[in-house]
Structure 1
Amino acid sequence: MKNTKKIVIILILFLAIYSCSTKKDTVISRNFHAITTKYNVLFNGKEAFKKGVEEINSNYKDDWFKRLPIEPIEFEEDKIVLSTFNNGPGAGFGGAKEEEKKELTTFEKAEEKAVKAIQRHGMNIQGSERNRQIDDAYLLLGKSRYYAQRFIPAIEAFNYVIANYPQADLIAETKVWRAKANTRNDNEETAIEAMKLLLVVRDTLEADLPDVIKEQAHTALAMAYVKSDSLQKAKKHLKLATRTLKNKNQGARNLFVLGQMYSDENKKDSAFYIFNKLANFKKAPYKYKIHSNIELAKNFSKDSLSTTLLERMEKLIKNRDNRPYLDELYYQTAVLHQNNDSINLALVNYNNSLRAKNGTDKQKTFTYEKLGDLYFKDSEYLLASSFYDSVLQVSKDSVDRRIRRVKRKHRNLASLIKFENLVTLNDSIVRIASLTKEDQKLFFENYIENLKKADEAAAQLRLNQIAFGNSSGGLQSSRNGGWYFYNNQSLSFGKTEFQKIWGDRKLEDDWRWSEKATISGNIEKDSVQVKKTNLRYDLDTYLSLIPAKKETIDSLKTDRNQALYELGLIYKEQFKNVNLAKLRLERVASLQPKKELILPINWHLYQIYNNLGDTKKANKFKNVILTKYSKTKFAQVILNPNKKIEEEVAVSEIEKEYKKMYYLYKSNKFEEVVLKIDEYVATIPNANLIPKFELLKAYAIGKFKDKQAYKIALDFVAVSFGNTEEGKKAKAIIKQLER
């Protein structure tokens, strides 16, 4: 009896296995393989694919300052990937053994499952596929290859579905994916034609396409038109793709890209409408909603909306969920305040943007640039230069046009800052040198006292930061939050740091003073260390540095006066800031400058006051020129104001002057060359030979000044006359100097 039961069970199992063969077209076979494919192999493959797409969406870093790509994925242009699976029409089926592989990516796992479904559960009997799940397997195969950047094998898989399963439910979706693959493969015309057929002619057996498929098709068309630079047509299809918003992720992205396109065209009303629609789209991912609010603040066209938008931005800033976006929110709030001429509020918010945690480097470059522009507009050139320098330090994109523009601004300010610093330094030295010995001593005693206090505060702060944990932990162990002095490891580390900074000290009052440092260990080494420490607090050291010789002080005054004159020219000619130009030129005029500077100083001051309409002051400087320098070109220009300046001096005469200065240069009279060029160039502002004079001046500066001054002079030629031969030569020399 038992044997009979065993035989029956074996027969049943044998019949079941036989009936489930992929070569038998039976109801049991078809259903068995279909269910196994759908709920086992394909289920696992689709889950791996879904996970891969989620990873892309979460890991992709959008650059919100540029127009986003319609699909959030970046493919490497030159990447070549060999097929992981072999055989068949690009599908990897047909009985070949799978290669041994390293750990697979999510998309490789999905592709592996798709191939497994095709190989083990395909029921191709007499040219007809009897397993209704195999078309899904091919679609999954193509989609996985698409994300693996294997577009040609992906297209083969999609074509196989379209050719062999024309009545499949997913035929339309397959055509959309094939169009996307063609676009990625630089065949956007083929993709456009296919999508037009799908949407207009509707060459499917369905009476109408579902909304989800229409969204996908219009999105694919928009991608193809963007690739072919047909942005108007791309906008049209993005609008059509965002009518229903069935796919919340892609729909939100399509809206954002559409809004950016309108914004780029300065169609603020249309952009505002689109971003407002996205901001109110409840199912949209939060990153799109928060950035749509930021874009609303950029694209409002009615001043009446400014207050409303400011209130909205303030509300977003207060929301704790928006902490990752605080740098952008503060920045845009600052821009709104700046547009309303609330400069102080703008400065507060720009600085809050810089201090925000998780702030991106790119956002910082925009904030630093805005601060630089604000200070530049307010004639605070030193501060402006420091902010422009911060832009260049933070930025990692030296090719960007905006960064190159900032670099030019910073370079133009370099000579100004150099001369301003020189004036400040030489003024200080000359002022101190003019004091009595007692006043000099008192001055440096106060200086040393303040220096000690500052050093003490800085050292204490450093000790607190290093030994007592980070700023948020206070006097706690950085690991477990316990009291600092209960942690032996932290305590030992703190003692080491204290001794490194302060040395061995007795337990007594005023232990911080350097004179109280005790000597231990190697006496010679420690005495040198104490001497080094005391040097900054040594009164005699400072007193010995004060120049006493009249020649040295006169040289400092001469350099200062020359710097003041150069500053006057820079403010007048380069930055068009007549107020600062007046201050610098009038000051140098009052300081008994060298004879060579008197004429050009009076000429530039005459021009400034004449342009300002201040006849009284203009006449003062005009009379100096007409009485003391009546035979100069300056006097001729004043006496013949209606005659063009360039006509006063013939080209041949300009060339003669250039030759004279060139011979002076060859005679090693470099300082004289610089002064004469400054004097002469002012009389021929529109002459074609000015770049030659300026380059010769730069060469002369390079001969008797330091490398930095030489580079600044070359920078001026490169920036001011960049399209000339002289400008190009200056750029080439700068490159050599920077090596």
Structure 2
Amino acid sequence: MKNTFILLQIYIKHKRIFFLMISLLTIQACSTKKNTVVTRSFHNLTSYYNVYYNGNEAFINGVKKIDKSFKDNYSLILPIFKYSNSEITRGSFGEMNRAIEKGSKCIQKHSIRVKPKRKDAKKQSQKDKDFYNQNEFVKWIDDSYLLIGKAHFYKHDFYAAIETFNYLIREYRSKPIKYDAYLWLSRTYIEMGKFDQALEFLSKFESEKNLVPEPLLGEVALTNADIRMKQKQYESAIPFLIQGIDYTSDKKKKARYTYILAQLYQRNDEKNKAFEAFGKVIDQNPNYEMTFNARINRASIFNASAADSGPLKKELNKMLRDEKNIDFRDQIYYALGKIALNESRNNEAIDFFLESARVSTVNTNQKSVSYLAAADLFFEQPEYRKAQAYYDSAVAILSSDYPDYAALKTKNKNLNALVTNLLVIEEQDSLQRIAALPDAERNALIDKLIAQIIDKEMEAKAAKAKQQQEMAFLQQQGNTMRNEGGGAWYFYNPAMLSMGQQEFKTRWGDRKLEDNWRRKNKATGDFGDALANETTETDNAKSKMSNKTRDYYLVDLPLTDSAIKVSNAKIEQAYFNMATLYKDKFYDFGLSIDGYLNLLKKYPDTGHKLISYYNLYKLYFLTKNYNQAEVYKNRVINEFPNSEYAKVLGNPEYFKELEKIDNQVKFMYQATYKYFINNNCNEVHYNYQYVDSAFSESTLLPKFALLSHLCVGHTGDTLALKNLLTSFVTRFAGKEEVVYANEVLAALERKPREVILEEVEPVFGSELAEVSAIDSADLAIYKVDLSQPHYYMVVVANQKVSANLVQFRVQNFNIDYYDFLNFEVENQLLSADYSLVMVKLFKNRNMANNYYESVRIAGDVLSDFDDDSYRDFIISTDNLKTFLEDKNVLKYQKFFDNNYLKK
């Protein structure tokens, strides 16, 4: 007790000194300029609890927010990771920014890079040397860099993430954390679509597998699976996914990865393995939606030959009766349809698929898949008209990321064309049949149709009145409930909520809760459609008539000989189109043969006789009906002896000989063009005359002729040049060279003395170049409006550059530099010789010009193509329409140079 009292007296007497000593020690510990046990211990402690911990918690909360916001689409293969969707990750930017801020603060306030005092070199152990040689002495600094990099990654700020991860690898090459950096760097490159670079870093885990920290092995395996799935290499992703599942201890994630594995087996047509994997998902008891979809998929891949489907169907029917599955009935009916299909009960399967689509409420993905399943079965039967109707319904609501979406859209387009021709035949046959009736009988038929229309209108009015009464009743009930409810908030009042839902359905039908829900069809058309839709349609005479008058119906009837002739021409063309579609698009050779035979029987003098004969020859040959093939081969040779088809059938070597001649003419044209450039006009004239007499069918003949005529201009005889070019335009009407000839003629009309023909440069390959006579009058078709939306456009010469390659490079450029703007890149043919690659859409000229300059500065898009193989510019929406009609690249090039580059 006495000692304690003495110590207390000493403390009271010297407490200022004690406080001063503690303060000095704290200040010394705070310093990052000294590297001692005290400073290291202080900063290791405070860097974690004061800064890093808070930043890491913010990052974890951001990831949780993404996980919570992400909505799985079970009609597609689920993604392994949920960070690819930039719309979803945007919601976590606040947390990610906080993580970056805290990580940066940790580095700035707590990093110690100064070396500690060395011991005597003789007394240093290897451990001491390694400690001294490290670049950083606070253990949470490298974690802070990793945290910053991951936060940038989740923000889709990929270049900042790459820079951070590369710094980690350089600075901590001897530390295990470099493997974390390798992992996240590979994920960054995967998200950028740079798969080769990603695989390069993933390969390091294989070459250094003994050094990789074990907790990372599962993540590495999952990343290997992810990169293969993103490249649609589903089969090779399976072993990596299995490995990732084995390393995963989190039950929720394990169930998800197992579900994805089942989907991969299902896509790979390994039904037994898929069935087993879906069963494992159910056993792991994940959330209700995943369990439900696992049950549905398990039922849909049931092997009818291996077991009885009774228990499965019983389970599905029980699920149908469960009230909580009301929004899942579409999937249940779809699964029942798949079971019926597996048991070869196709008609029953169709009924289930259509019922699935009918009862669908909020799941538009399932509705589209159900329509698609029914359409596929109708297509196989084949019932093309029904198939078209359901493909049409499916494609209208199908997500563009659905597997083989482009192929489905093409099939639908072909079916639309087929059904359009079927309808033409039916409509024209019906119109001709009605037109052939006596007047009294025809009028009675029309009057009956009018009466039906009036009855339907009356029914519609009655239904509308009833609906209005119901709405008034609902409103009255709502007022009563509001009074009785004591002002309860709408969403806490079940009765009011139910009425609101009913009113919504009455007005809008079943709509999914999503952006732009009011829009019935949110799909956008392609580049050509967008331009076409801007044109207005004129009203025809029929649109001004009432559909309750006889004249409305008589207008369509072919009541005169000329009208019947037009009607027959439509039917004839439709028969030919249908037969060709069956052959080329659907490979239905039987229906194609029937189509051509019907055409020849109904219209024996058809203008399509030759091609029909030739196609019948090929079709019979393909179906091994060699006798009939010989019949139509002989008809081609005997009835059309001078045709290309007769030459082909009569001489099997015809095409080889034609190709040899074509190569010879091409070689001669290249020489002739050089003669033209060097003003050696005698050789130009001679070669043109030779080709004209020996190879008059050559597609290059117009080019020879044009060079020869332009050589006449070199003599200064503009009158002779005008006469030659006028004859050229008549002789080669429709050829691309005529456009150029007309430009020269127009220039000669305006300023004949100023036309300079000596300076002709190649534009693309062996094409002719701009004539300097083109002046401002030629460019009047284009208007300057810099405020309009603009496109970036590359025109390529098909013989020199692949438009697909240019499109690929432009898309990669956009991913690298403009990923956040989601530009659309398309390519289309401008003519037989040129293609367009388009980037859309820029708000105005300035934004488009910035992009144009960026392409040129980057240098990795077009720089390695020859200058004469492409042209690139920006163009306004109005001028684009004009350009697509005019198709003259040089004319717009000059307009662009004058009005954009000189600004």
TM-score bracket relative to the smaller structure: 0.5 to 0.7
**Could you tell me how far 1:74 is from its partner in structure 2?**
1.8
1:53 aligns with 63
Q: How far apart are residue 108 of structure 1 and its match?
A: 1.8
Equivalent AA in structure 1 for residue 203 of structure 2: I
Matches of 1:644 and 1:387, distance apart in 2: 40
Alignment correspondent of 2:26: 20
The residue that corresponds to 2:104 in the other structure is 115
Q: Given that residues 353 and 359 in structure 1 are in contact (C-alpha distance below 8 angstroms), is that contact kept between their aligned partners in structure 2?
A: no
Letter of the structure 2 residue corresponding to residue 188 of structure 1: L
Equivalent in the alignment of 1:476 = 474
2:51 maps to 1:41 = yes
Question: In the alignment, what sits opposite 2:357?
Answer: 353
**Cα distance in 2 for residues equivalent to 1:642 and 1:595:** 18
Matches within 5 A, 1:256-655: 256-282=259-285, 284-286=286-288, 288-303=290-305, 304=307, 306-316=309-319, 327-340=330-343, 341-353=345-357, 355-360=359-364, 363-395=366-398, 397=400, 402-414=404-416, 416-459=418-461, 461=463, 475-477=473-475, 535-538=546-549, 540-541=550-551, 545=555, 551=561, 555=565, 558=568, 562=572, 566=576, 569=579, 576=588, 596=605, 641=627, 644-645=630-631, 648=634
Rounded to whole Å, the distance in 1 between the matches of 2:634 and 2:309 is: 55
Given that 1:263 and 1:271 are in contact with CA atoms closer than 8 Å, whether structure 2 keeps it comes out as yes
Q: Counterpart amino acid of 2:250?
A: N
Q: Where does the alignment leave 5 or more consecutive residues of structure 1 unmatched?
A: 77-102, 485-493, 495-531, 612-637, 660-679, 690-702, 704-727
Distance in 1, Cα, partners of 2:253 & 2:264: 16
Cα separation, 1, equivalents of 2:833 and 2:310: 51
What is the distance in 1 between the residues matched to 2:423 and 2:379? 17
Aligned ranges 1:154-303 → 2 under 5 Å: 154-156=164-166, 158-159=168-169, 162=172, 171=176, 175-176=179-180, 178-185=182-189, 186-194=197-205, 197-198=208-209, 201-202=210-211, 209=214, 213-220=216-223, 222-223=225-226, 234-243=237-246, 245-282=248-285, 284-286=286-288, 288-303=290-305
Give the aligned partner of residue 147 of structure 2. Answer: 140
Superposition map of 1:708-727 within 5 A: none
Structure 1 pair 151–595 and aligned structure 2 pair: CA distance change class (3 A)? closer
Displacement after TM superposition at 1:10 (Å): 7.2
Deviation at 1:645, TM superposition (A): 4.9
For 1:64 and 1:731, the matched residues in 2 are separated by 44
User: Residues 546, 193 of structure 1: CA spacing in aligned structure 2 closer, same or farther, 3 A cutoff?
Assistant: closer
Residue 255 of structure 2 aligns to which amino acid in structure 1? A
User: 1:309 & 1:367 partners in 2: Cα distance?
Assistant: 20
- Structure-2 change in CA distance of 1:468 and 1:38 (3 Å): farther
Taking only aligned residues, the RMSD between alpha carbons, in angstroms, comes to 5.8
Contact 2:222-2:241 at 8 Å conserved across structures: yes
The structure-2 alpha-carbon separation of the partners of 1:160 and 1:14, relative to structure 1 and needing over 3 Å to count, comes to farther
Bigger Cα displacement from structure 2, 108-117 vs 14-23 = 14-23
Structure 1 residue 38, shift from structure 2 partner = 4.3
Aligned-partner SS, 2:474: coil
1:720 maps to what in 2? Answer: none
Q: Distance in 2 between matches of 1:308 and 1:561?
A: 54
Distance 2:885 2:390 in 1: 25
**In structure 2, do the counterparts of structure 1 residues 411 and 433 end up closer, same or farther at CA, with 3 Å as the change threshold?**
same
How many angstroms does 1:451 deviate by? 0.8
1:323/1:265 Cα in 2 relative to 1: closer, same or farther (>3 Å)? same
Asked if 2 retains the 8 angstrom alpha-carbon contact of 1:306 and 1:336, the reply is yes
Q: Which moved more, 1:45-54 or 1:139-148?
A: 139-148
- 1:72 is the counterpart of 2:82: yes
The one-letter amino acid paired with 2:361 is K
**Residues of 1 paired with 2:227 and 2:301: CA distance?**
27
Q: Which amino acid aligns with 2:396?
A: Q
Matches for 1:672-683 after TM superposition, within 5 Å = none
How far apart in 2 are the matches of 1:570 and 1:444?
Answer: 36
The number of equivalent residue pairs is 552
Output one character per residue of 1:41-70: Cα deviation in whole Å (capped at 9) or x when no partner: 334322211121123323445565555443
Instruction: Spell out, residue by residue over 1:465-509, the C-alpha distance to the aligned partner (whole angstroms, 9 max, x if none).
Output: 7x679xxx784349967699xxxxxxxxx9xxxxxxxxxxxxxxx
One-letter code of the match for 2:60?
K
Amino acid at match of 1:352: S
Taking a change above 3 Å as real, the CA distance of residues 287 and 301 of structure 1, as seen in their structure-2 partners, is same
d(CA) in 1 for partners of 2:26, 2:198 = 43
The 3-state SS of whatever aligns with 1:535 is coil
8 Å Cα contact 1:189/1:224 also seen in 2:
no
TM-score by length of 2: 0.49
Structure 2, unaligned stretches of length 5 or more?
1-9, 87-91, 117-130, 190-196, 483-502, 504-542, 656-733, 735-828, 837-883, 888-903
CA 1:316–1:544: 2 relative to 1, 3 Å: closer
Cα deviations by residue, 1:15-45 (Å, 9 ceiling, x for unpaired): 5544434347999987776665544433432
| Kept after mapping to 1: 8 A contact 2:582/2:589 | yes
